[in-house]
Amino acid sequence: MLAETLQPEFADPEALTDLEKRLLNEYQQGLPLSPTPFADMAEHLGTTEAEVLRILDDMQQQGVISRVGLVFKPKQAGASTLAAVAVAPEELDAVATFISAFDEVNHNYERLHRLNLWFVVTASDQQRVDQVLTEIEAHCGQPVLVLPLLKHFHIDLGFPLW
């Protein structure tokens, strides 16, 4: 998966060029598994590797996308878990920003529930997952509910954006 999150506050898709739209649409899945994935993407899109990297960097800086990278199937490499925490509504943005700052957190999102901030932690081993969860819990001053994967369901999250 190329772009983890299209940010909801990005409200003007018309501001994106055709190349930017193609990059987001065509590489939500199927990131080339090669020593030169961005060059491969550029060749497919009819542009340069430098331009692909510039576009992705610009989109991250603008908050259009939150991350670029692969997503592994659960339990295939390292350790991961889904987790949730109750956050006061007025603190939600600040806590979400804190949680997103961890390299091990690939996304977080608000839910309409008492446990209103959910996130996924992925690390090289369970010890690092536990350490991140402990740091988040200490920062929030609230217990983090750990929701480990019991049964895997494949949900295809790719969809046409434009």
- 122-134: per-residue pLDDT in tens? 999 999 999 999 9
Distance CA 17, CA 23 (A): 10
pLDDT by 10s per residue, the chain, length 162: 344 444 444 446 678 899 999 999 899 888 888 999 999 999 999 999 999 999 999 988 887 887 787 766 666 778 999 999 999 999 999 999 999 999 999 888 999 999 999 999 999 999 999 999 999 999 999 999 999 888 877 666 666 776
Distance CA 85, CA 128 (A): 19
Confidence (pLDDT) at 8: 46
Specify the fold of 79-147: Alpha-Beta Plaits (3.30.70)
- The three-class DSSP label of residue 31 is coil
Confidence (pLDDT) at 7: 45
Distance CA 113, CA 87 (A): 10
pTM above 0.85, yes or no: no
Confidence (pLDDT) at 60: 87
Distance CA 162, CA 56 (A): 18
Where exactly are the structural domains of the chain? 13-62, 79-147
Cβ neighbour number for residue 64 with a 10 Å cutoff? 21
Question: What DSSP character marks residue 34?
Answer: S
Torsion of CA 57, 131, 86, 101, to 10 degrees: -20
